[in-house]
Structure 1
Amino acid sequence: MRDPLNAAELRAALRNVQRAGVPGLFAEVRDGGQVWRGAAGVADVTTGRPVTADMRHRVGSITKPFTAAAVLQQVECGRIGLDVPIGRYLPELVPKDRGEAITVRMLLNHTSGLAEYLPYAYPSLKAPPALADTDPRSLDDNRFTRFHPTELIGMGVSAPAVGAPGGTPGLYSNTNYLLLGELLARVTGEPAERHITRSVIEPAGLRDTELPSDPHVHGPHSQIYEAWFGMIDPPRDYSVYDMSWVGVAGSLVSTVADLNRFLRKLLAGEIVRPSSLEQMQRTVPVVSQEGRTIDYGLGLHPMELPGQETFWGHGGTVWGAGALAMARADGRRQMAVAVNLQRWNGLGPSGEPLPHPIDDALGAFHRVAMYG
């Protein structure tokens, strides 16, 4: 009988990532009505507790498609205009000429020119001229810091602009999505986290997905380990962490099954209208946090191999945890994978991240999961 999921290859590819150095990872791959779930390695390096495919996990910037979908819903009902300046809604946060020049669309696709606030909130992570000049002290200093989003937005807005509003390539910045959270709060009259839960997470039937209100991941989950480019050795557990530092830009907790369900419904037009989905898939060039230029839409970006079909989704990282969720444009084939180690690369003599076997093994798993 034909196996469109290539289960044996998926199991082998997952184990190869673990052998390359990730303590533990887990994934779900779907093809039509067929589902494969797998896990390899440990959730706790001290006890040897194994990872399982149903674990909850911090999924970082995969939060952004959820926030973008909530904004597009408000566009559909006329409360938000995609090409209306953000200063018309939040003049106190993006004032004067800048507020008139930056539109909601520019926040969604990272072409606002607003700087990333993270180096200002986490000063030891500033990297001029190279990552080798950073150190991870701020990660521990802020473990239980409770940031307010407007405080972080203020850091990004007051920092030197990284580009002209609407200019390309844009620069990926969490400041944009914290502003979208404040926009949602302003037009809906409720906190953005509550609104996204009520309008996106619950209607999609995502029972293991939440925007956390405390530093803990509730339910079965893995410990998560941050290496910060070899400067934390052995990697340190950051599974208990106040996620207000990234809020509706990256604090989501979910499962690989829920992520696949969300993308399947999104691409089927069940979360936003097809016309809104079309807007989400209109891309511009954006420089990612890793320094690569990618195509980016409104909270979604495409991935494809030459000659292969396009997948849509998002990746995400936080301190110690990473995830990637992608779905083929027709929604039939899907992949979500979560790993419990981050920034495993060492640094070269010029401070650049060096290639690591994990990179190749994880890329090979992505290819098998998406294309067989």
Structure 2
Amino acid sequence: MPNTTELNTTELNTDELDAAMENVHRAGMPGLFAEVRAGDQVWRGAAGVADVATGRPVTADMRHRVGSITKTFTAAAVLQQAESGRIRLDAPIGRYLPKLVPGARGEAITVRMLINHTSGLAEYLPYAFPSLKAFPALADTGPESLDDHRFTRFDPVELIELGVTAPAVGTPGGPLGVYSNTNYLLLVQLLEHVTGSTAEQCITQNVIERAGLRDTGFPTGPHIEGPHSQLYEAWLGMIDPPRDYSVYDMSWVGPSASLISTVTDLNRFYGLLLAGEIVGPSSLAEMRRTVRIVSQEGKTIDYGLGLYPTEAPGQDTFWGHGGTVWGAGALAVTRADGGRQMSVAVNMQRWNKLDSTGRPQPHPIDDALAALYRVAMYG
């Protein structure tokens, strides 16, 4: 049965939340944990195992790799620098980093376009991980590079060069952007350029510590410090049984997707951010101005400056971000008025096998997670 802590059940149906969590585990997820807040009421739950070999259970206080949720932290740090006058959102990136994005392209791509993924810069990932070369053409990819690069120490400038020199995926500021980690590695370099410190130091001091997050930080090596789950990567059924990638050098994404956090810290962060306590009201309004982009999953979504909206028909809008790395996934969203929050972490990724056309097949985990999200967000 799920391991649950509850402070009040007036608005949070803990029985439904417990059942929804357990259903995700029964559908095939090794383990997951979550925190849901409604006002001052808090529910925390966990279901399944942190280690399939030993049966060690997951708990709701575990630290977890949260992937591209990191981008909200990075974007907030950039907007803080914009508030101080060190960065202009609509200035060309070439004026700050002419060697990394040279020539006319550097003049055409603005800081804002990097944050909202409308730069047209390609994703570097398939070039850094050769077996993913056909990504996002999933049927032609393979997981071999994941093992090859478990302890590789990537140079972020070299990764940026891979993305900048790859064929463009759009025109700067075009009507449809394309999600690309190259954008955020450039923002990391921009933070270092204008602050004179590392991006990790800048984000830690100005965002993480400002929010009072106790269990959030960047990795100092390939291991996750503190209580955590193993992280199982299935790579579309090509790794069977799924393999543990909890020990991994995260320089392949750096401060664009390497953050380690807890579901409690994520809810605290997004609550404070949407209350205007991490960046000012005008910056928060900029973060919530969306454009249309194509996500890494090939879906067209609305995306702001490190934030995107989630809503069901006829329901309230939530703002937040999701993230995945090898074996780990997380989603953190907060209702626009801050009155309800959800953070969920799962310890397996890419569970959908491919059909004969190379498209991911539906999996019971998909429906079970969607049901959990509905219960957590809308009751």
The TM-score with structure 1 as length reference comes to: 0.99
Take 2:109 and 2:88, find their aligned partners in 1: how far apart are those partners? 12
1:207 — aligned with what? 214
- Residue 69 (structure 1) aligned to one of 67, 72, 76: 76
Q: Aligned pair 1:158/2:165, yes or no?
A: yes
Per-residue deviation, 1:12: 0.4
Q: Deviations over 1:286-343 (max 9, x none)?
A: 1000000000000000000011110000000000000000000011100000000000
Decide whether the 8 Å contact of 2:63 with 2:227 is kept in 1: yes
* Correspondence 1:76-225 to 2 at 5 A: 76-127=83-134, 130-225=137-232
Change (3 A) 1:189 1:232: same
2:3 — aligned with what? none
Take 2:134 and 2:11, find their aligned partners in 1: how far apart are those partners? 45
One-letter code of the match for 2:252? W
One-letter code of the match for 2:33? F
* Correspondence 1:298-313 to 2 at 5 A: 298-313=305-320
Decide whether the 8 Å contact of 2:329 with 2:349 is kept in 1: yes
Decide whether the 8 Å contact of 1:130 with 1:350 is kept in 2: no
Change (3 A) 1:234 1:71: same
1:364 — aligned with what? 371
One-letter code of the match for 2:52? V
Structure 2: gaps of 5 or more residues: 1-7
Q: Aligned pair 1:328/2:316, yes or no?
A: no
- Residue 287 (structure 2) aligned to one of 275, 280, 288: 280
Structure 1: gaps of 5 or more residues: none
Take 2:124 and 2:373, find their aligned partners in 1: how far apart are those partners? 31
Q: Aligned pair 1:57/2:47, yes or no?
A: no
Take 2:363 and 2:184, find their aligned partners in 1: how far apart are those partners? 31
- Residue 289 (structure 1) aligned to one of 264, 275, 296: 296
- Report % sequence identity: 76
Take 2:121 and 2:135, find their aligned partners in 1: how far apart are those partners? 19
* Correspondence 1:217-236 to 2 at 5 A: 217-236=224-243
Decide whether the 8 Å contact of 2:34 with 2:344 is kept in 1: yes
User: What root-mean-square deviation, in Å, do the aligned CA atoms of Structure 1 and Structure 2 show?
Assistant: 0.9
Take 1:46 and 1:76, find their aligned partners in 2: how far apart are those partners? 50
Change (3 A) 1:212 1:14: same
1:13 — aligned with what? 20
Per-residue deviation, 1:134: 1.3
User: What is the aligned length?
Assistant: 372
Decide whether the 8 Å contact of 2:70 with 2:257 is kept in 1: yes
Q: Deviations over 1:214-267 (max 9, x none)?
A: 101000000000000000000000000000000111000000000000000000
Take 2:282 and 2:378, find their aligned partners in 1: how far apart are those partners? 28
Per-residue deviation, 1:131: 1.4
Per-residue deviation, 1:203: 1.2
Take 2:159 and 2:104, find their aligned partners in 1: how far apart are those partners? 21
Per-residue deviation, 1:126: 1.9
